Structure 1
Amino acid sequence: MGKKDVSISDSIYDRIKERVEGTGFDSVDEYVEYVLREVVEEEEEEEEPYTEEDEEKVKERLRALGYMD
């Protein structure tokens, strides 16, 4: 699969870089691709509501990333 370059501001890059530290992501690029994939997939699946199991998986991932307690 090919890759394309996308530009973001330095301030956003720096904030993402701080957020990536201590997570399972190896780089800002990897994190940004993950977030964008999640957004796109969510929009594509909007018509299908999340099951309780799906919601728990998302919550577990967010906890692992440090976004939820």
Structure 2
Amino acid sequence: MKKPKKRAGNKVRYGTISLPAPLIEKVKKRIKGTGMPSVSSYVAFVLRQILASSPKTLIASEETGEIKAKLKSLGY
């Protein structure tokens, strides 16, 4: 896996990602009182968690349909 290039002083370079304003507001509400310093920090944290998880733990959309059908047949 490719690591981010670092500048002198071991600082990581940053880019810009645009998010819809309503999503930013939801994140602000979620992180309020958590000690998370910013929306950017929270989004980076969540993305790291998702990307660190095994691909096998993520359920494909077609698998979701199969799981729902099985649960429905079991009475759930």
Quote the sequence identity (%): 28
SS of the equivalent of 1:8 reads coil
Compute the displacement of 1:18 (Å): 0.6
Q: TM-score w.r.t. structure 2 length?
A: 0.55
Greater fraction of residues in helix: 1
Structure 1 runs of 4+ with >6 Å offset: none
Provide the alpha-carbon RMSD of the alignment: 1.6
Q: 1:17 aligns with which of 28, 36, 45?
A: 28
Gaps of at least 5 residues in structure 2 are 1-11, 58-76
Q: Deviations over 1:4-23 (max 9, x none)?
A: 10000000000000111010
Aligned to 1:7: 18
Deviations 1:11-65 (A, max 9, x none): 00000001110102011110010001101111xx3459xxxxxxxxxxxxxxxxx
- Distance in 2 of aligned mates of 1:4 and 1:18: 24
Of the two, which has the highest radius of gyration?
A: 2
Q: TM-score, normalised by structure 1?
A: 0.60
Give the match for residue 39 of structure 1.
50
What SS does the corresponding residue of 1:22 show, helix, strand or coil?
A: coil
The AA in structure 2 aligned to 1:20 is I
